[in-house]
Structure 1
């Protein structure tokens, strides 16, 4: 996915680091440190040298209980910093809830509006609509002054996901291109630590919306709660660990105070791997229960995937029933797609997958013929090539309806490691027509 931010285009296949630059007297962890414009600009340049791709400049603290800042005062604080950094051809994000501040920042060269109020203000939507800037849409229940008084959710993951989907859709309806939108679940904004942890451990649900997802965990109170670190300045190691975990779940923009520590942590990010699983031979099934038996066999395989070394399952699509492809004289299949983070090299992973197939009675007699279980490596991030044993990406991914539909369910707009969009083959030209069970 490419995130378009004014004159900057970011490939989100590799996580982007956004350095936080608070030009405020009262931010929760660094208030007053960078009130001087020269010091702020110097710190912004330092963060770029340390590996940040974007500098996020804010002139209003939105910590819990904070009072609003007059837009004129907010602009007075950030104007020289935004302009100085933008004049150096850097990507500058302005962290503001005020349309007039965002407008001024864009006029002096900012490329992103990072709005903690989620573009609720129609005036902010208009500012974004008349520019080509990137837009970060954040979820916040209530307002900073009162948001932590009693946040209540029936299902925090579903409610935040649906809110962000609705706000992003409204931006698109206003004429803002989808490729400009990034979503942020707003950890700690109108959420208890426990609610935030539940949300952050289920970020893959937001990834399914098909927008770049931001992780802004840096020094947040939930990090202190989860890792038992009271002092915000001492939460950087834990914050970097949270950033890595979020990126493994699919986040691709990391907003952080400590750039070098975060960059170092992200070096441990494991490649994303997509597997296609299918079954059309039910070993044990009562009449009329063949579909359930095939699903059970796939679930057994998924259970074994959970035991692979240096591997974590991230997401799994629904089950799809599909027509047989290539070799048509056989029973219908049940298929799904699983995403993993995996540290095993592709050929070593393939060996483990063959072992799982064999353990579930896979017999290799007819090419594309009946099988109790089939596991294909569809794509392995950063690996493109072909050997007699394995070709990556799988050469038939895009022509198989039973692969394309479940894959795009969990990763909308996905492109293979060689740059091919998964949806490149029209549905009516694909083989193995599939429908969700």
Structure 2
């Protein structure tokens, strides 16, 4: 068996037997040489290994693997009925099924209607889940009342555009002081970067990047107050990502969505961690060129199409959809009008059916386009402009905002959430 595609995960209330915990539902597309009953045997073997105990029909169980469809066939066996007779009323099956590339257009053989048509008949009420950490932390991108998470930037580089290397230190105690201040200010996620991605930044080796990043991860892990903090590593190198995840990072935050290192997607798939994938063109050295900042048509539509290509590459590599976070790439291979358009129209990206249920990360903090609009040349003084972009991102549906100065942005996020997430 080979997994070809996966859906988002969805939390749903139980049907039929309602006195039980919520369910988490998902779907996947498989390639297999197994015949239907042999496939059923394989799936039931997996259930047994995971400790499934079935006490009552449709009652509580820790795992339930069903065959939704098999090559468009209608199967009526004593042990196996495909498609299920109640498929048409089960949004918890149809919604994940419609996330799959081939699932949304799949024609249910018993009704000759598509899965998406059946789903449209139902009043679905479920929340998608994107796993963030190993301790159960997750995002619910479809919850209209969700709280926006703050990703705090910790650049352990000597050439960061925003702080001129203020956090570049080899002192473990100093790193812990910095991390403690980020947590106290209200950070939910700490994003640790050891390689500057600003234009014309010096390119360091993977070994040097690892030497910068790992002590910062260890500093977070050693703090009792950081037990609920999600750790992200900001890197486009697979070897750095693997070292960071092995040291305790939960998220790989890749500005290139795998384009700058051919090994990145397969590495993330093998590690099984969450992957934030950003839209970018070129490299940090070339992304600001006229060629990379020129879009043949509407920038929002082109970014969506190019992100879909990277999403499909990630899924093909084996990264699960419920482990993916999307980023439109504000400030990366975009000119002023492109950055403003993406902030203005983030909601259109969120509503694109290709990305249904997936969370969005927006990082606009202190970037050059803010200085262009406001006339503030010093990046460290761009908090007011950043506040406006953070508010716009939340209005557009951002699930995570990536910021340099957590304390002032926490107030902005709280106010924007009160307006747009009430």
Asked if Structure 1 and Structure 2 have the same fold, meaning a TM-score greater than 0.5 normalized by the shorter chain, the answer is: yes
Residue matched to 1:217: 364
Aligned equivalent of 1:98, options 237, 243, 247:
237
CA–CA distance in structure 2, aligned partners of residues 186 and 21 of structure 1: 18
For residues 315-348 of structure 1, the C-alpha deviation after alignment (integer angstroms, 9 at most, x for no partner) is: xxxxxxxxxxxxxxxxxxxxxxxxxx4xxxxxxx
Residue matched to 2:138: 10
1:100 CA drift (Å): 0.4
- Secondary structure of the residue that 1:26 maps to in structure 2? coil
CA–CA distance in structure 2, aligned partners of residues 63 and 116 of structure 1: 11
Counting only pairs closer than 5 Å after superposition, residues 145-224 of structure 1 correspond to structure 2 as 145-150=285-290, 151-154=293-296, 155-208=298-351, 209-210=355-356, 211-224=358-371
Residue matched to 1:425: none
Please report the TM-score for the alignment, with normalisation by the length of structure 1: 0.60
Counting only pairs closer than 5 Å after superposition, residues 6-405 of structure 1 correspond to structure 2 as 6-8=133-135, 9-12=137-140, 13-37=146-170, 38=172, 39-88=174-223, 89=227, 90-120=229-259, 121-150=261-290, 151-154=293-296, 155-208=298-351, 209-210=355-356, 211-269=358-416, 341=420
1:141 CA drift (Å): 1.3
For residues 162-219 of structure 1, the C-alpha deviation after alignment (integer angstroms, 9 at most, x for no partner) is: 1112212221232222121111111111111222111221111221222211110001
CA RMSD of superposed structures (Å): 1.7
CA contact 1:25–1:33 (8 Å) conserved in 2: yes
When residues 125 and 270 of structure 1 are mapped into structure 2, their CA distance, relative to the original with a 3 A threshold, is closer
CA contact 1:21–1:40 (8 Å) conserved in 2: no
- Secondary structure of the residue that 1:21 maps to in structure 2? strand
1:271 CA drift (Å): 5.9
CA–CA distance in structure 2, aligned partners of residues 6 and 172 of structure 1: 20
1:255 CA drift (Å): 0.4
For residues 113-157 of structure 1, the C-alpha deviation after alignment (integer angstroms, 9 at most, x for no partner) is: 000111223311122111232111011111111111212112211
CA–CA distance in structure 2, aligned partners of residues 192 and 35 of structure 1: 30
**Quick check: 142-151 or 102-111, which moved more?**
142-151
Residue matched to 1:435: none
CA–CA distance in structure 2, aligned partners of residues 173 and 146 of structure 1: 28
CA–CA distance in structure 2, aligned partners of residues 161 and 227 of structure 1: 28
1:50 CA drift (Å): 1.2
1:270 CA drift (Å): 5.0
1:31 CA drift (Å): 2.8
What is the aligned residue count?
A: 275
CA contact 1:5–1:132 (8 Å) conserved in 2: no
Task: Determine which structure has greater relative contact order: mean sequence separation of CA pairs < 8 Å that are 6+ residues apart, divided by chain length.
Answer: 2
CA contact 1:19–1:44 (8 Å) conserved in 2: no
Please report the TM-score for the alignment, with normalisation by the length of structure 2: 0.62
For residues 277-314 of structure 1, the C-alpha deviation after alignment (integer angstroms, 9 at most, x for no partner) is: xxxxxxxxxxxxxxxxxxxxxxxxxxxxxxxxxxxxxx
Residue matched to 1:327: none
CA contact 1:23–1:31 (8 Å) conserved in 2: no
Unaligned ranges ≥5, structure 2: 1-127, 141-145
**Quick check: 9-18 or 109-118, which moved more?**
9-18
- Secondary structure of the residue that 1:268 maps to in structure 2? helix
